[in-house]
């Protein structure tokens, strides 16, 4: 570890892509980390007790490119049934590792660890929760750690015996009260929640670990992951990283949001495995996931990476300082520029406009390190004009363009380097407004500018007991015009209300074909039949004065 370059240490030289080298960990027979390719995983949404359906869906996922199959184990019974599923996959000729997704009950993890190749646990589930405490003195804080040590040791013993890997998945929406009391609902709290477990595992001599920082907020997901690496290196650790934007949603928005968060970290050379979490069938997640990693698995350059400015904190959002011109620069929201008349664009591209700003143009086939180098040169010169970034994306594959553009511009926006977007897609003729629409979607995904309602929705899994896919689309149709409102659609109590990430309203599955509606984190209407729940959600929004007609 002492010979590795900290990705966020300021040093002289040019920006180039550099993969952060983590230690190699084996998940079943598939190695992760080290110099291995970035791997892809997805999660089944069948009933785990229905072995035939789960095996069939797993095979579909594997054939679509899934390298690790994740399956929910919500009780001991489901955890035991993982053995039937694993045996069926092996009998069908598939050696793909399976990952058990475990929440709340430590006994479930013990059972799953004897069967699965990896077990995913949430640090928040191993701490005391919902006690109402908001302050912990030093002794109480340490007592909480001792309880975690005692609770986790049996699982580590089983993992050692069976060669099972463990993923410590720190979710922003389910941090323990003890962590919240010291760090709040922050990237630092997320990183510290995982590091506590890393230190405990290290103390027990267990090193078969993978770590992840999950949030539906792309900025927090990026900053928490960067901070985790920084803190890990300071303590001599280099465990593999799993990347994902949790509750990303569906359709174009879900893909763009995932690409902004995952892509920004991949651009930094961070990430050993990814999941694009969409509220769609699992095999559909794998199409954008493959397109994301293919771009980075092809790159061979190795060199240090660093922030643009040593005075900027790479773990918190902050805008690069610039002078203002009309709507641009000086902490104003980033603008959208179009090369044709468009009602939504802030500016039409013309010489008069470009005489007042700096336009930095990049190559669609390369990562944004070229633009970062130019920007740094401008800063060294003392150039304070608003910075507009321009890229032209060729081809007619809209999804590929969305993923590339979201990765490129998302990385600039999350780092606060971009005053405006000038995105062109000359080969897309059937949708002339495509580049402007895409620009606004990327800005929203990067939390830089909101132009429609924010829909947070989890991918369905075996815990979901209602049709979440169609529900998300019905909710989106009703509320998309409510700019500034965040609405969460969650499959079950595991993902809500804790994982709603500060949503204004929530629609959470509460039983077979029913939902409970939330205002903030307070349940307002319980066990509403699915066929009535969307309209009831609209009424709840109206009752609270947040409704506007289209």
Checking if the pLDDT of 272 tops 90, the result is yes
Same domain, residue pair 129 and 243: yes
The answer, yes or no, to whether residue 303 has pLDDT greater than 60, is no
**pLDDT at position 112:** 96
Looking at the structure, tell me whether residues 412 and 273 fall in a common domain: no
Q: What is the pLDDT of residue 209?
A: 97
272: in domain: yes
185 and 226 share a domain? Answer: yes
**Same-domain pairing of 458 and 441:** no
Closest CA to 168 of 107, 126, 226: 126
Cα R_g (the chain), whole angstroms: 23
Residues 441 and 458 in one domain: no
290 & 356 share domain = no
Q: What is the pLDDT of residues 217-246, one digit of tens each?
A: 999 999 999 999 989 988 999 999 999 998
Percent of the chain with pLDDT over 90: 61
Q: Which residues pair with 519 in a beta bridge?
A: 505, 522
Report the DSSP pairing between strands 514-519 and 335-338.
Answer: unpaired
The residue out of 247, 274, 297 marking a domain boundary is 297
Residue 549 placed within a domain: no
Q: Global pTM?
A: 0.91
108 part of a folded domain = yes
pLDDT digits (tens, 9 = 90+) for 158-206: 999 999 999 998 888 888 889 989 998 899 999 999 999 999 999 999 9
Range of the domain at 225: 39-297
Residue 26 lies in a domain: no
pLDDT band at 136 (very low <50, low <70, confident <90, very high): confident
CA end-to-end span of the chain, whole Å?
A: 56
CA distance 330 to 314: 20
**Residue 500: per-residue pLDDT:** 63
State the CATH number of the domain containing residue 505. 3.30.413.10
Question: CA 491 to CA 515: how far, in whole Å?
Answer: 9
- pLDDT of the residue at 509: 85
- pLDDT tens sequence across 490-509: 877 665 556 665 789 988 88
Mean pLDDT of the chain: 88
Q: State whether residue 37 is helix, strand or coil.
A: coil
Residue 385 sits in the same domain as residue 289: no
Rounded to 5 degrees, what are φ and ψ at 23?
A: -75, 155
Question: With pLDDT > 70 as the criterion, what percentage of the chain qualifies?
Answer: 92
Residue where a domain terminates, one of 402, 420, 445: 445
- Do 511 and 439 share a structural domain? no
79 and 73 in contact (C-beta within 8 Å)? yes
- Tens-digit pLDDT profile for residues 33-65: 998 999 999 999 999 999 999 999 999 999 999
What is the maximum alpha-carbon separation in the chain? 70
Reference 217, options 178, 264, 269; nearest CA is 264
> Is residue 355 one of the residues assigned to a domain?
yes
Residues of 498-526 as b/e, b for ≥16 C-beta within 10 angstroms? Answer: bbbbebbbbbbbbeeebbbbbbeeebbbe
Q: Long-range contacts of range 32-35, CB-CB < 8 Å, 24 or more positions apart?
A: 32/210, 32/240, 32/272, 32/273, 33/210, 33/239, 33/240, 33/272
Do 376 and 311 meet the contact criterion of CB atoms below 8 Å apart? no
Q: Find, among 82, 78, 58, the residue nearest to 164 by Cα.
A: 82
The structure tokens listed for 307 are: 């922030």
Confidence of residue 2 (pLDDT cuts 50, 70, 90): very low
| The pLDDT of residue 305 | 44
318 is a domain residue: no
CA 380 and chain centroid, separation = 33
Segment 24-40 shows an average pLDDT of 94
Q: Under DSSP, is residue 55 helix (H, G, I), strand (E, B) or coil?
A: helix
Q: What is the mean pLDDT of residues 95-103?
A: 94
Inform me whether the pLDDT recorded for 10 exceeds 50. no
pLDDT of 238-269, one tens digit each?
999 999 998 777 889 999 999 999 999 999 88
User: d(Cα 172, Cα 127) in Å, to the nearest integer?
Assistant: 15
pLDDT of residue 1: 27
129 secondary structure, DSSP code: -
Q: 377 with 255, same domain?
A: no
CA–CA distance, 519 with 198 (Å, rounded to integer): 36
How far, in Å, CA of 116 to CA of 80, rounded?
10
Note whether 273 and 345 are same-domain residues. no
Nearest to 127 by CA among 414, 498, 404: 498
> Does any domain span residue 315?
no
Of 297, 323, 357, the one marking the end of a domain is 297
User: Please, which residues have CB within 8 angstroms of residue 314's CB and are 6 or more apart in sequence?
Assistant: 8, 223, 226, 307, 415
Inside any domain, residue 524: yes
Average pLDDT (505-517) is 86
| Close Cβ partners of 114 (under 8 Å, ≥ 6 residues apart) | 158, 162, 164
Domain co-membership, 458 together with 438: no
Across the beta sheet with 505-511, the strand order is 454-457, 486-490, 505-511, 514-519, 522-529
> pLDDT digit string (tens) for 470-489?
888 898 889 989 998 999 88
Q: What are the Cα distances from residue 381, in Å, to 324, 376, 385?
A: 18, 9, 11
Contact 458, 495 (CB under 8 A): yes
- How many structural domains does the chain have? 3
Same domain assignment for residues 490 and 539: yes
């Amino acid at each position: 570890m002492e010979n590795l370059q900290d990705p966020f240490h300021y040093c002289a030289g040019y920006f180039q892509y550099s993969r952060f080298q983590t230690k190699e960990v084996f998940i079943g027979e598939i190695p992760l980390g080290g110099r291995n390719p970035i791997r892809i995983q997805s999660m089944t949404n069948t009933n785990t007790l229905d072995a035939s359906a789960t095996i069939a869906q797993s095979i579909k996922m594997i054939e679509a490119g899934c390298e690790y199959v994740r399956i929910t184990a919500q009780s001991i019974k489901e955890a035991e049934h993982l053995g039937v599923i694993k045996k069926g996959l092996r009998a069908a000729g598939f050696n793909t590792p399976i990952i058990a997704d475990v929440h709340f009950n430590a006994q479930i993890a013990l059972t799953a660890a004897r069967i699965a190749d990896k077990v995913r646990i949430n640090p928040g589930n191993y701490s005391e929760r919902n006690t109402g405490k908001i302050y912990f003195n030093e002794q109480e804080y340490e007592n909480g750690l001792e309880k975690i040590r005692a609770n986790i040791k049996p699982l580590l013993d089983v993992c050692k015996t069976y060669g099972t890997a463990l993923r410590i998945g720190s979710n922003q929406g389910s941090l323990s009260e003890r962590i919240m009391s010291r760090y709040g609902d922050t990237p630092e709290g997320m990183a510290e929640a995982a590091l506590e477990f890393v230190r405990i595992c290290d103390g027990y001599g267990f090193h078969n670990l993978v770590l992840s920082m999950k949030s539906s907020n792309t900025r927090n997901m990026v900053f928490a992951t960067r901070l985790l690496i920084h803190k890990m290196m300071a303590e001599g650790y280099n465990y593999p990283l799993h990347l994902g934007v949790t509750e990303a949603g569906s359709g174009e928005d879900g893909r763009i949001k995932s690409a902004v968060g995952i892509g920004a970290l991949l651009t930094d050379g961070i990430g050993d495995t990814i999941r694009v979490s969409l509220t769609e069938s699992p095999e559909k997640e794998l199409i954008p996931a493959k397109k994301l990693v293919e771009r980075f698995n092809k790159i061979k350059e190795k060199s240090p990476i660093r922030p643009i400015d040593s005075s900027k904190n790479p773990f918190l959002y902050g805008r690069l300082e610039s002078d203002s011109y009309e709507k641009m620069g000086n902490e104003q929201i980033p603008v959208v520029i179009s090369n044709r008349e468009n009602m939504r664009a802030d500016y039409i591209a013309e010489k008069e406009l470009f005489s007042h700003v700096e336009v930095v143009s990049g190559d669609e086939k390369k990562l944004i390190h070229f633009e970062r180098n130019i920007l740094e040169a401008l800063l060294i010169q003392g150039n304070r004009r608003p910075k507009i970034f321009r890229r032209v994306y060729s081809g007619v594959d809209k999804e590929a363009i969305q993923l590339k553009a979201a990765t490129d511009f998302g990385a600039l926006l999350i780092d606060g380097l971009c005053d405006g977007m000038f995105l062109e897609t000359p080969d897309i003729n059937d949708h002339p407004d495509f580049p402007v629409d895409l620009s606004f979607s990327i800005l929203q995904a990067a939390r830089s500018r909101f132009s429609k309602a924010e829909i947070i929705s989890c991918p369905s899994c075996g815990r979901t007991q209602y049709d979440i896919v169609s529900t998300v689309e019905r909710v989106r149709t009703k509320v998309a015009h409510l700019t500034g409102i965040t609405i969460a659609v969650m499959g079950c109590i595991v993902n809500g209300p804790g994982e709603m990430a500060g949503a204004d309203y929530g629609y959470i599955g509460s039983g077979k074909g029913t939902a409970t509606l939330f205002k903030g984190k307070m349940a307002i209407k319980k066990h509403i039949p699915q066929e009535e729940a969307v309209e009831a959600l609209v009424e709840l929004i109206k009752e609270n004065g947040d409704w506007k007609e289209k």
